[in-house]
């Protein structure tokens, strides 16, 4: 990562991350720590961490499948009191997210593809892709407090 010693109060950042479990986990911790400081609850932090890790894993597995293993992906994030925005950009050719088969249909239940995108869409408020298909932007809006 470009900033291996993040400050605990970082609420926004940009880094390049390699396909390394420790780097991915450290970034997840950084974002979750910022989310906690911004008042996001445990369930919200779980959702954000899961979506972030799925997006990074997908970027390496699919976006970088034809690239050298040391090519990083870029992650941008911003944690505000009411929302968290995360963008993951790979250096691959991109894809059409509408072409990913629905993993919940009968013919796709035994296939492993599409599940990460399904999880990201389920846990985040919005999930969008740039026209090229190599950047996924996810927004998580803080739920309203119970009544």
What is the DSSP code string of 36-62? HHTT--HHHHHHHHHHHHHHHHHIIII
SS3 content of the chain, % helix, strand, coil (to 5): 35, 20, 40
Please report the pLDDT score of residue 108 as a whole number: 56
Question: pLDDT tens digit string along 84-123?
Answer: 999 999 999 988 777 776 666 676 556 666 568 889 999 9
- Between 68 and 4, residue with greater pLDDT: 68
Would you say residue 131 has pLDDT above 60? yes
Paired residues of 140 in beta bridges? 84
Residues 6+ apart with CB under 8 A from 102: 108, 114, 118
Would you say residue 77 has pLDDT above 50? yes
Segment 136-143 shows an average pLDDT of 96
- The full set of domains in the chain, from first to last, is 12-141 (3.30.565.10)
Q: Is the dihedral of CA 126, 12, 136, 47 positive or negative?
A: negative
Please report the pLDDT score of residue 118 as a whole number: 86
């Amino acid at each position: 990562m470009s900033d291996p010693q993040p400050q605990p109060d970082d609420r926004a950042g940009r880094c390049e991350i390699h396909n390394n479990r420790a780097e991915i986990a450290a970034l997840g911790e950084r974002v979750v720590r910022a989310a906690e400081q911004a008042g996001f609850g445990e369930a919200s932090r779980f959702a954000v961490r899961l979506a972030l890790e799925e997006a990074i894993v997908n970027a390496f597995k699919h976006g970088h499948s034809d690239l050298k293993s040391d090519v990083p992906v870029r992650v941008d994030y911003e944690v505000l009191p009411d929302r968290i925005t995360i963008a993951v950009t790979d250096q691959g050719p991109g894809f059409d997210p509408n072409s990913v088969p629905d993993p919940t249909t009968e013919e796709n239940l035994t296939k492993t593809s599409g599940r990460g995108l399904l999880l990201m869409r389920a846990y985040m408020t919005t999930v969008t892709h740039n026209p090229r298909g190599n950047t996924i932007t996810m927004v998580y809006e803080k739920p309203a407090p119970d009544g």
